[in-house]
């Protein structure tokens, strides 16, 4: 794919996410859960601790700026703002797919945010399917080195690739190749979906392959089949893409299934986390990190102040939820203070 086509697609993705209705018709599932309120928490709110250690780094807030962008001048500015806020609050960040910069090194600067966030846990990112299209361990190392990353996200997006006119649709044999990449890198490998969820069956296969963590990235937020729908020109292809607007495993359901089947596995939750309470619930239900893309993107394009205000709100809601459930830290907060409505 040429440099101009890559830039155009990256630019289309940002524009469409900001301007068009690309939400899944499914809810994220967190509306089915409620916290168990404790009227006597026996805690000093000022001592609530939202920190944790992950992959050898201290994380102040369990928030993940989910992988979303890179490859254009606008993306570079967005990534800079997101990186600065991540550094300020001790959050985690992942960049968008670096395939464009591997193929066109002049684009690499749009991903290079370490200078703005020297201390954060930072994830590089490539599409897993590219392992069937010429990419291998060397390209994975390039992506990591490009941004001085602490881990590598390999994302799974079969549905998006299937509706893209230029999509890469050969997913055969990927599990073995993922296992090879895990064995060849000296840093954690994380696998995520892009918005349709990961089942407990797939999570188990990934764990057996040595994947350090998964991001369920479930349904309930941005539908990338809808994003691609707005890039399409052919009426038949548009009609096909629209049929998948309610596809996928809702984020809360994916999180429950995997946390129940694999309680000791490191799981992140993203996919339609829109409100501070969604974030708090996802952490309480077992996620090590709560990831958001669209929420951060829309705040970042307004102003740095808007982005800071957003993080402040989400952080305060999390700490108040911890306090009001009698949880002095994240370990106590997880898996004990939330229940499905009606149970």
Backbone φ, ψ for residue 151 (5° rounding) = -160, 165
Domain membership of residue 227 as a residue range: 3-36+57-318
Strands 57-59 and 267-270, bridge-based pairing: unpaired
* pLDDT in the model for residue 67: 78
Residue 253 in any domain: the answer is yes
Q: What is the pLDDT of residues 137-163, one digit of tens each?
A: 999 999 999 999 999 999 999 999 999
Residue 335 in any domain: the answer is no
C-alpha 283/C-alpha 208 separation (Å) is: 24
Q: What is the pLDDT of residues 210-242, one digit of tens each?
A: 999 999 999 998 888 888 889 898 999 999 999
Q: Quick one: tokens of 161?
A: 């690739």
What is the sign, positive or negative, of the torsion defined by CA atoms of 83, 85, 88, 94? negative
DSSP code for 49 = B
Backbone φ, ψ for residue 18 (5° rounding) = -85, -30
Residue 43 in any domain: the answer is no
In order along its 343 residues, the chain shows pLDDT tens digits of 555 565 566 566 667 666 777 789 899 999 999 999 999 999 999 999 999 999 999 999 999 999 776 667 888 888 999 999 999 999 999 999 999 899 999 989 989 999 999 999 999 999 999 999 999 999 999 999 999 999 999 999 999 999 988 899 999 999 999 999 999 999 999 999 999 999 999 999 999 999 999 999 999 988 888 888 898 989 999 999 999 999 999 999 999 999 999 999 999 999 999 999 999 999 999 999 999 988 998 899 899 999 999 999 999 999 999 999 999 999 999 978 999 997 6
Chain mean position to CA 29: 17
What angle is formed at CA 267 by the lines to CA 175 and CA 42, rounded to 5 degrees?
170
Strands 92-94 and 121-127, bridge-based pairing: parallel
Say which CATH number the domain at 126 has: 3.20.20.70
Residue 343 in any domain: the answer is no
Helix (H/G/I), strand (E/B), else coil: 33: strand
Residue 327 in any domain: the answer is no
Closest CA to 100 of 90, 91, 111, 92: 111
* pLDDT in the model for residue 41: 97
Decide: 211 and 182 in contact? Cβ < 8 Å: yes
Number of compact structural domains in the chain: 1
* pLDDT in the model for residue 90: 98
pTM (whole model) above 0.85: yes
C-alpha 228/C-alpha 225 separation (Å) is: 5
* pLDDT in the model for residue 297: 87
Q: Quick one: tokens of 119?
A: 């201390």
């Amino acid at each position: 794919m040429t440099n101009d086509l890559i830039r155009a697609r990256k630019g289309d993705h940002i524009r469409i996410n900001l301007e068009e209705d690309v939400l899944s018709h499914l809810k994220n599932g967190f509306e089915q859960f409620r916290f168990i309120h404790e009227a006597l928490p026996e805690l000093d709110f000022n001592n609530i601790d939202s920190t944790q250690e992950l992959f050898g780094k201290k994380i102040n807030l369990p928030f993940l700026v989910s992988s979303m962008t890179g490859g254009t001048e606008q993306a570079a500015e967005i990534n800079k703002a997101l990186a600065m806020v991540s550094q300020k609050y001790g959050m985690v960040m992942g960049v968008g797919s670096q395939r464009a910069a591997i193929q066109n090194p002049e684009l690499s600067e749009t991903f290079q945010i370490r200078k703005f966030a020297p201390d954060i846990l930072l994830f590089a990112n490539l599409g897993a399917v590219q392992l069937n299209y010429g990419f291998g361990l060397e390209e994975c190392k390039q992506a990591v080195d490009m941004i001085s990353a602490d881990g590598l996200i390999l994302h799974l997006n079969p549905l998006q690739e299937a509706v893209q006119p230029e999509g890469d649709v050969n997913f055969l044999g990927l599990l073995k190749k993922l296992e090879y990449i895990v064995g060849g890198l000296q840093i954690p490998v994380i696998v995520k979906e892009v918005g349709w969820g990961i089942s407990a069956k797939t999570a188990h296969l990934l764990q057996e392959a040595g994947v350090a963590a998964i991001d369920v990235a479930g349904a309930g937020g941005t539908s990338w089949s809808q994003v691609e729908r707005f890039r399409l020109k052919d009426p038949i292809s548009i009609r096909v893409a629209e049929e998948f607007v309610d596809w996928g495993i809702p984020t809360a359901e994916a999180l429950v299934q995997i946390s129940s089947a694999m309680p000791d596995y490191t799981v992140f939750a993203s996919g339609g986390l829109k409100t501070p309470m969604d974030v708090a619930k996802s952490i309480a239900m077992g996620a090590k990190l709560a990831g958001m893309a669209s929420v951060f993107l829309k705040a970042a394009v307004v102003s740095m102040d808007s982005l800071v205000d957003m993080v402040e709100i989400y952080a305060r809601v999390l700490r108040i939820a911890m306090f009001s459930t009698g949880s002095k830290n994240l370990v106590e907060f997880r898996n004990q203070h939330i229940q499905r409505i009606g149970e």
